[in-house]
Structure 1
Amino acid sequence: RLANEVVDGLYKLLADMASDPNHPVREKSEEALAQLAQELKSDPELRDRINQWKLEMIDNPAIAQWIDGIWENGRTALLKASRDPNAAMAGHFGDALMQLGNSLQKDPILNRQLNRFARRAVAGVVSSYGDNIVKLVSETIHSWDAQTITDRVENAVGRDLQYIRVNGTLVGGLVGVTLHLIGHWI
């Protein structure tokens, strides 16, 4: 019961910090993280200690088992949610996503930081794997036959494809009639 109260208190604190950009604990956390980042840049001894700690954690079988458990639970939850679209936004996960969305809308600093992180991540992935991504997409598309391409386009465009076909036919017919009339008139 005490553990539940502590977890509930931490959850409320995190929710308050997420919704209030001027929350004192949030400001202190951001200051501490900025100071740590500065120290990591300037103190090689600290970098070595943290790197050593990281390597020890990676080598620890209990940590590996814990990470495997997290991965397996996450994978199972994602598979379950993908099979039931209504479940994706239910429960704690849905609440967390809604809080994140609200925080991103209300907090320009968090929004800017997330955008910066996303840009850096995409740039890193593209610089590291860009050629492989292009090769994979090209090889995949080249392996498709005409029916597969047709199915993909129809699925992507959906009902609008019929409107596109009708409009194409009407426009093509009007252009043909117009050219025919111009030919007869000249």
Structure 2
Amino acid sequence: ALADLANDLQTDADTRARVEGWKEELLANTSVALWLDTLWQKGRSAIIAAARNPDAVMAGKLGEVLRSMGTTLERDPRIRGAVNQFVRRAVAGMAASYGGSIVKLVSDTIRGWDARTITSRLEQAVGRDLQYIRINGTLVGGLVGLVLHMVDTL
């Protein structure tokens, strides 16, 4: 899916124009532009400081920048709204263009899972309700089997 997107960005003028439009729309928002400039300045400062200090840990600085991004998104509804709108449009556009590839990727991934992996992932996603689902499935299946047996013997 990503390889297709990369190829389309290089070869398809419509895809390039759509992505460029999303980028311009996002950057036209003054709150987002200010936020991105602040992030760039912090990231740039962290990289320069790390380059000057051989003992500095880049992961720590990157973590600080990411925390700052998260805090800004959490506190500023205008920036959060602009980013959400951009992401929605980008995802909708990618889903329309690459939906088939995404479905194939997910299908191939799930097809490669064994029963234990599927069970584990379902238990993590559903949680405690999985036990109730199992009991209900057993009861409904038993009742359907009983009704079918009664119909068959009558």
Fold similarity call, TM over 0.5: no
Pick the structure with greater CA Rg: 1
TM-score tier after normalising by the smaller chain length:
0.3 to 0.5
Which is bigger in relative contact order (C-alpha 8 A, separation at least 6)?
A: 2
